Amino acid sequence: MNSALPQLNPAPSGTGIERDFQKAILRLVKGGPERQAIEAGQIDAIIDPASGNSILLPEARRALIERKVGFRSLIGLAFDWYWEQDEDYRFVSHRGAGDDADGIAEEGIIGKTLWDLSIDNMSEADWRTHRQQLEWRAIFRDLELRHVDGGGEVRYVSISGEPVFDDRNHFKGYRGITRDITERKQAEALVQQPHRFDRAVLDALGAPIAVLDHAGLVLSANHAWRDFATNHAGVGTHVALGANYLAVCDDACATEQVDGVAIAAGIRQVIGGERALFRYDYSCDSPTGRTWLALSVTRIAENGNASAVVLCEDITERKRGELLLGLEFAVARCLANATTAASALQSVIRVICETQGWDCGRYFCLDQSAGVLRFDESWGVAGAAVEEFLEKSRGMVFRPGAGLAGRVCQSGQPLWIVDGARDAAVSPTALAPETGEYDACVFPVTTDDKVIGVLAFSASRVREPDDRMLQAVRSIGSQLGGFLLRQQAVDALRRSEMRFRVLNDLTSDWYWEQDSNFRFTQVVGCSAFGTAEILGMTHWELPNVVVADEGWAEHKSQLAARWSFCDFEFATVHSDGKHAYYSICGEPVYDAAGIFTGYCGTGLDITTRKREEIALRESEARLRALVAHSSG
């Protein structure tokens, strides 16, 4: 026998009561082995032959009590309350493991079913499901219930139960345990809170953002990304949560293939740590026209796992703005390089067409005197249809208010015909001669808000104008108008100069200029001297010039006084000894600051007149001599 086992031997440690009990027990047991076993302390209980009940011997009783206490202590660690329900699921007992209070229902739980209590997280459907479980006598585990206690605090409990049956297998109700899980739920809420906050921050961002794992799967995407996916075309724009972004890029085909390959390579480099940032701008065609997208990929490395954040922005507006700004610069450059209005118009129309992808453009000039718009200049892409269209335009004349050009001329506002019939005021039939089968953009050319002409562009597809486009056409119209106005003034000046030159040529033989020291700097048309011998010389330094001394003195004094002079006559002696005679006029020249810079003037060959005068004087002298001789 194992001496470590508890003995029921009454002597010497047993109490008097226990000894009496043992004697009574031994009287009940008749068999020798049983009695020996009892005396050896190897028996826990004796079966009462009358009732079948077990009579526990003291050691066994103590052991069972200790075990019960221990078990109760242990289960106290596992749950907070123990409960029992009757066959109608009404609570018949509800005890705390530590004999403390209710927990689940402060108003009293006995006699109530679970769904009679103030539980606020169970819907009707949830209760139906639970009751069905009970009807099936199923064990239910960890049913989480929420209620508000008397202090107004939200409490959570987890309740589990199992059906109870009697010896005849009749259902007697349920019994189970309840645990207060408020702290756990609060801790879970605290853990979840940062994630919810992060998510809210991500959703609050206006830019479309998605997070990819190392393989390219979209782990997370914000609201903007989802909206973006529904409204945009282009590589990667339709990749939803859970899809593989890299696979979509790899599988891009046709015109998107190049972009897809580049984007996939860039993302892999970022995830692989070869680069910290990958940026890529690309464009695609969408129902609303050309769309530009800017992709930005950055790396996240956490706990050894690399992932990538993809940001895809629609930069169409910015790109269009840049293109329009470029167009405005291009137009300005065309105008700066143009020498005539015609070349300016052609180059401007061309650069607009090429930038916007339009087929052709025409300029109608407002004839102020006749009060009509007349076809002036045009440019178009190569092609029979465009050439035919432009050819038909030649000779077109519009009154203000008539036709597209006339309406724009009258209103001073741009006009767009997109899909023809969209403008209810313009019938497609009426448009046909003006726009052909094209959409149209017509805008005024102005100067000081006054329309001086109209530019009309046509294309098979014209985009609906936005504010930036309208701003651009107004700017271009104004630039072109200013140029044309200045060009008109230049042309007028040029014509005036031409007339002046012709008149000047009629009244003088040559033109000359001197610097502030009276040295010739330019001589045009002079037959008296060669250009080489006159430039850099003053008048009085020229060879073979014959002027009386007093004549030079007077002329120099006039020059010194900055006087204008007229008909200063001089003669030159030719190699044959004959004289030639000239008369010059001049006036002082001042710069913008009023500083004297020299003289300019004209010269006239008066040899013939002078010789005739000399001949006449000689003739008169001879005649006078004859008269004197005859009278004398």
| Binding site residues, other proteins, CB under 8 A | 1-2, 5-6, 29, 31, 33-34, 37-38, 40-47, 49, 51-54, 56, 59-60, 63-64, 67
Cα separation, 457 vs 438, in Å, equals 9
Least distance to other proteins from the beta carbon of 8, Å?
9
Q: Which of 534, 539, 536 is nearest to 552 (CA)?
A: 539
Structure-token pair, residue 306? 């690399």
Least distance to other proteins from the beta carbon of 144, Å?
33
Structure-token pair, residue 478? 């104004």
Of residues 45 and 309, the one with the C-beta less far from other proteins: 45
Q: Which of 497, 514, 502 is nearest to 585 (CA)?
A: 514
Least distance to other proteins from the beta carbon of 66, Å?
10
Of residues 52 and 150, the one with the C-beta less far from other proteins: 52
Least distance to other proteins from the beta carbon of 59, Å?
6
Least distance to other proteins from the beta carbon of 170, Å?
17
Of residues 6 and 412, the one with the C-beta less far from other proteins: 6
Least distance to other proteins from the beta carbon of 49, Å?
7
Least distance to other proteins from the beta carbon of 61, Å?
9
Could you tell me how far CA 475 lies from the centroid of its own chain? 23
Residue 210's alpha-carbon distances to 129, 204, 205, 246, 298, in angstroms, are 39, 13, 11, 12, 11
Residue 379's alpha-carbon distances to 11, 64, 119, 324, in angstroms, are 131, 110, 80, 20
Cα separation, 409 vs 420, in Å, equals 19
Of residues 38 and 264, the one with the C-beta less far from other proteins: 38
For residues 614, 615, 620 and 625, what is the CA-based torsion angle, rounded to 10 degrees? 100
Cα separation, 25 vs 419, in Å, equals 113
Of residues 60 and 309, the one with the C-beta less far from other proteins: 60
Of residues 167 and 549, the one with the C-beta less far from other proteins: 167
Least distance to other proteins from the beta carbon of 190, Å?
43
**Look-up: residue for tokens 């309740």?**
159
Q: Which of 542, 457, 472, 172 is nearest to 322 (CA)?
A: 472
Cα separation, 348 vs 339, in Å, equals 13
Of residues 5 and 277, the one with the C-beta less far from other proteins: 5
Of residues 59 and 144, the one with the C-beta less far from other proteins: 59
Q: Which of 527, 533, 513 is nearest to 606 (CA)?
A: 527
Phi-psi region of 221 (alpha: psi -120 to 50; beta: other; left: phi over 0): beta
Q: What angle do CA 84, 89, 91 make, to 5 degrees?
A: 40
- Separate counts of helices (H) and strands (E) for the chain: 17, 24
Least distance to other proteins from the beta carbon of 63, Å?
5
Least distance to other proteins from the beta carbon of 62, Å?
9
Of residues 175 and 374, the one with the C-beta less far from other proteins: 175
Of residues 60 and 589, the one with the C-beta less far from other proteins: 60
Cα separation, 580 vs 611, in Å, equals 8
Strand order in 277-286's β-sheet? Answer: 218-221, 209-212, 305-314, 289-302, 277-286
